[in-house]
Structure 1
Amino acid sequence: MFSDLNVFKTAYAMATHAGQRQAVISRNMANADTPGYQARDIEAFDSVYSGGPRTKMIASRNGHLNGVERGDWAEFTPENPTDPNGNSVSIEEEMLKAVDVKRQHDRALAIYRSSLTILRASLGKV
């Protein structure tokens, strides 16, 4: 009955993905001064691990989901400048990615902890 709980598998997959992405980010930061090194990244967790068919949210009226229409925002595409030595690592971007990955890992642990608490409560062992 309790041997195949998807919530634990998802939390484990999220924590594992965060660890792998953190390794890539730390490798980028370690090579920030290496000539010719190109920054790497892996896909976000939600695009890698999909538990089923992906569906998009449907807006019931204008401005319902995001407050404004997509055309109201100016598109921003950051340039990927390289240093004179050909290195494309931006320490600032890598720091922001590292914070995002830490939050993802903390979220995975919180999901696991909450699910375990619920499971214990359902068994009467709080």
Structure 2
Amino acid sequence: MFEKLELTRMAQALAAHAGARMGVIARNVAHADTPGFKAQDLPEFSAVFERSGESMRGTRPGHFTSASRMEEMQTERAPGREAPNGNTVSLEGEMVKSVGARQSHEMALAVYRATSDVIRASLGRSR
């Protein structure tokens, strides 16, 4: 039921993007001292979501449902200054990015919880 609502689908996609971004950030931090390592990042969620391509697909006659999927998230080289050993990871920058990813994940969960509460209330059920 929830996956058919546009708002919950978008919140789920935002949570998945935030989780994937935290993984990329963790890999960057793990390689902070690796000579020649180039920091990576994911594109902004809004850009990835817009490129996912909204399309309508009929599952049976007279029925249409949104069938869009987030495209595979591709990492890209993150901008940054190169250290003498060729490494571009900035631990301070990664900390800032991790806070942004955490906030995005918490926002997605808050939207999902609020949507769930509205649906439960409309059905006459409480938590």
| TM value normalised by structure 2 | 0.73
Find out whether 1:13 has 2:4 as its counterpart. no
AA of the residue aligned to 2:16: T
AA of the residue aligned to 1:80: G
Q: Secondary structure at the match of 2:83?
A: coil
- 2:30: which partner in 1? 30
Post-superposition Cα deviations, 1:85-114, rounded to whole Å, max 9, x if no partner, equal 100000000000000000000000000000
Find out whether 1:99 has 2:103 as its counterpart. no
Alignment of 1:46-61 (within 5 A): 46-50=46-50
Aligned-pair identity (%): 47
- 1:43: which partner in 2? 43
**Counterpart Cα distance in 2 of 1:33 and 1:26:** 13
Question: How far did 1:52 drift?
Answer: 7.7
RMSD: 2.0
- 1:114: which partner in 2? 114
Question: How far did 1:80 drift?
Answer: 2.6
User: Is the 2:32–2:90 Cα contact (8 Å) retained in structure 1?
Assistant: yes
More strand by share: 2
Larger Rg computed on CA atoms: 1
Post-superposition Cα deviations, 1:31-58, rounded to whole Å, max 9, x if no partner, equal 00000000000101111113889xxxxx
User: Is the 2:8–2:112 Cα contact (8 Å) retained in structure 1?
Assistant: yes
User: Is the 2:29–2:89 Cα contact (8 Å) retained in structure 1?
Assistant: yes
Q: Secondary structure at the match of 1:97?
A: helix
Structure 2 gaps of 5+ residues are: 55-78
